[in-house]
Amino acid sequence: MIADITIGQFMPGKSFIHKLDPRMKIIVMTALIIFVFLAKNMFSMGLMLGFVLVAMLLTRISPVMYFKGLKAIWFLIVFTSVLNMLYLRGDTVLFQWSFFTVTKEGLWQSAFIAMRLVLIIIISSMLTYTTSPTDLTAAIERLLKPLNVVKVPVHELAMMMTIALRFIPTLLEETEKIMNAQKARGADLESGGMMKRAKALIPILIPLFISSFRRAFELATAMDCRCYTGGEGRTRLNVLRYRFRDIFAFVLVAAACGGIIYLNTLAPALVH
Amino acid sequence: MEHTNITSDNLEVQISAQDVYFAYESTDGGEPKEVLHGVSIDIRKGEFVALLGHNGSGKSTMAKHMNAILLPSGGKVLVGGMDTADEELLTEIRRTVGMVFQNPDNQLVATIVEEDVAFGPENLGVPSEEIRVLVDDALKTVGMYEYRRHAPHKLSGGQKQRVAIAGIIAMRPKCIVFDEPTAMLDPRGRQEVMDTIDKLTGELGITVVLITHYMDEAARADRVIIINDGKILTEGTPKEVFSQIDMLRAVHLDVPQPTELAQSLRDMGFSGIPADILTPEECAKAIFAARQQQ
Ligand SMILES: Nc1ncnc2c1ncn2[C@@H]1O[C@H](COP(=O)(O)OP(=O)(O)OP(=O)(O)O)[C@@H](O)[C@H]1O
Ligand SMILES: [Mg+2]
């Protein structure tokens, strides 16, 4: 069933990281991603790697899942690494063929850059794996609230995100129904070239569009009936609250970041 | 306060539509299409009213007048004495009269059941701790408390519709208007929803207006109103209304099956069978009695 696709890949759990306030998670994970770029030598990168691996284990989500997250961009990582390896020059030539030269320094650097990419993917997967889309939306709405001052419709954007998340499975289910209905009428969706298959999609997209508009009107009426008048004066069932563990996580990440800056000074930078 | 208690509960009017006219703007620039031609309805507090009529007779249009989704072009609608045309009172009117629609999917906004039920109270600015109480109560009332952390799209139609009802109950309305709430459900879902409605009218004393095409559902009401081409045709207790089989046929409405069977038997000469039979049990008893007489 296509409707089984889970959005954001949330994996419910009760780990320390699952229980962190989603706002704090966004803050510390953003900080970690920034510091992945600031770690410039083996020592600081080692600390970052260690820190992220420990956090990964703390989520109690199987490393296989993180590996799956990496699989999607595996090609990108390999591709950029190979390019870097050939492009970055050093003194110690390891291998030369026609105009391709691989140096020891180039090898190290490309490995370093690949490591950065891998870490970023792991950190962002950690955020989406341990935070429900609802919490994520609520946190983003809360964190971006100051932008209201410059007239960014933060609440409306968050509401749109919530409704999108709510309706994606419904619309996927509907797409499947329409596809089956068209197949039952003899529509051939699988064979033929690009053009033919693209054309075959039209009788699926049109009913889907029409029904989406109908849904939108009905939903708007239902929201009116439930006294929705926008973000002003709204309260929330689940109020986000920082707890001790959030402060703890913050201090831990701050210490790691401090450590990275210190370790950067102990050895020459590998990359810039 | 003393004074309000003097008027009897049963007589106090919850919703009063007075000579309501309404026309939809036509989409192609032609003449507006008048759909309601002077409808007057009084819904009393605690009453369970069924609104019947064939397709396109204006039931949904009338329903949407009951909480100011639509405003009459002639006449007026009062909700607990508040005029729906008064914009200042909009929120108050909508929290007094809630509405449940046909398609449960298009009424649920959130990705988690309890957050959806909280949507109304959140909009009203109820403090968080109180929302929690309202949500838990509402979910327990409709029997969906165990599903509070579930995603709505994984529920059955009947369950989704009950969540939608909970979302309305959580606003503590005095009246709920149901517009064909069971039309998209399987028999089991229908039963679940009808049981919930029974609970609302019974235990909770909520005023209910039910629009339906199922005569067995309408037969449960205290009063049945038939609307035909934008006018009230007749009203009365289910027994009074459903015994007028020829009139129902004339406006293309079904007759409850037991009533129809009883009528056929009378036509065949079983004169002992009364005309105002509604439930299968009544029908069975009447047939049994008639057989014993012969
Ligand atoms: N948004 C609209 N714009 C224009 N005309 C409309 C609109 N909604 C309904 N109508 C028309 O108004 C008339 C009454 O519609 P309404 O939906 O009130 O009927 P109904 O009794 O609820 O029917 P049903 O049993 O099919 O739900 C119909 O002829 C319909 O075509
Ligand atoms: Mg209708």
Grade residue B6 by pLDDT with cuts at 50, 70 and 90. very low
Residues A223 and A96 in one domain: no
Counted across chains A and B, CB pairs separated by less than 8 A come out at: 100
Q: Is B61 in the pocket of ligand 1 (CB under 6 A)?
A: yes
Mean pLDDT is lowest, of A44-48, A101-105, B34-38, for A101-105
Which ligand does the CA of B227 lie closest to? 1
Residues A246 and A118 in one domain: yes
- Domains: count for chain A: 2
Residues A69 and A113 in one domain: yes
Mean pLDDT is lowest, of A62-71, A202-211, A217-226, B82-91, for A62-71
Residues A93 and A7 in one domain: yes
- Contact B164/B107 with Cβ under 8 angstroms? yes
Encoded amino acid at A137, one letter: T
Residue of A nearest to B133 (CA): A237
Report d(CA B224, CA B241) in Å as an integer.
7
Asked whether the predicted pLDDT for residue B106 surpasses 70, the reply is yes
Residue A148: inside a domain, yes or no? Answer: no
Element (H, E) at B178: strand B175-179
Residues A67 and A174 in one domain: no
Q: Which atom in ligand 1 lies closest to the alpha carbon of residue B26?
A: 4
Mean pLDDT is lowest, of A46-55, B25-34, B94-103, B177-186, for B25-34
Report in angstroms the alpha-carbon separations of B191 from B100, B162, B195: 16, 11, 6
Residues A44 and A176 in one domain: no
Residues A107 and A38 in one domain: yes
Grade residue B268 by pLDDT with cuts at 50, 70 and 90. confident
Mean pLDDT is lowest, of A171-180, A204-213, B77-86, B253-262, for B253-262
pLDDT single digits (tens) A156-180: 999 998 999 899 889 999 999 998 9
Residues A257 and A231 in one domain: no
The mean of the pLDDT values for chain A is: 88
Residue of A nearest to B177 (CA): A225
Contact B107 A236 (CB under 8 A): no
Report in angstroms the alpha-carbon separations of B93 from A93, A188, A226, B78: 81, 52, 11, 9
Sheet containing B175-179: order of strands? B97-100, B175-179, B207-211, B48-52, B223-228, B231-236
- The parent domain of residue A41 ranges over 1-131+242-272
Residue of A nearest to B65 (CA): A225
**Taking CB atoms and an 8 Å cutoff, what residues of chain B touch A227?**
91, 94-95, 120, 123-124, 171
**Taking CB atoms and an 8 Å cutoff, what residues of chain A touch B69?**
221, 224-225
Which pLDDT score is estimated for A8?
53
Which pLDDT score is estimated for B83?
94
Report d(CA A124, CA A154) in Å as an integer.
22
Asked whether the predicted pLDDT for residue A7 surpasses 50, the reply is no
Which pLDDT score is estimated for A6?
42
Q: What protein residues have CB closer than 5 angstroms to ion ligand 2?
A: B 60
Residue B102 CA to ligand 1 center (angstroms) comes to 14
Q: Of A170, A219, A224, which has the smallest distance from its Cβ to B153's Cβ?
A: A170
Residues A123 and A5 in one domain: yes
Contact B106 A222 (CB under 8 A): yes
Q: Would an 8 Å CB–CB cutoff place A1 in contact with chain B?
A: no
* CA distance to partner chain B, nearest, from residue A173 (Å): 9
Residue A142: inside a domain, yes or no? Answer: no
Helices A42-58 and A22-38 pack at an angle, to 10 degrees, of 160
Which pLDDT score is estimated for A73?
81
Mean pLDDT is lowest, of A89-103, B14-28, B88-102, B262-276, for A89-103
Residues A37 and A120 in one domain: yes
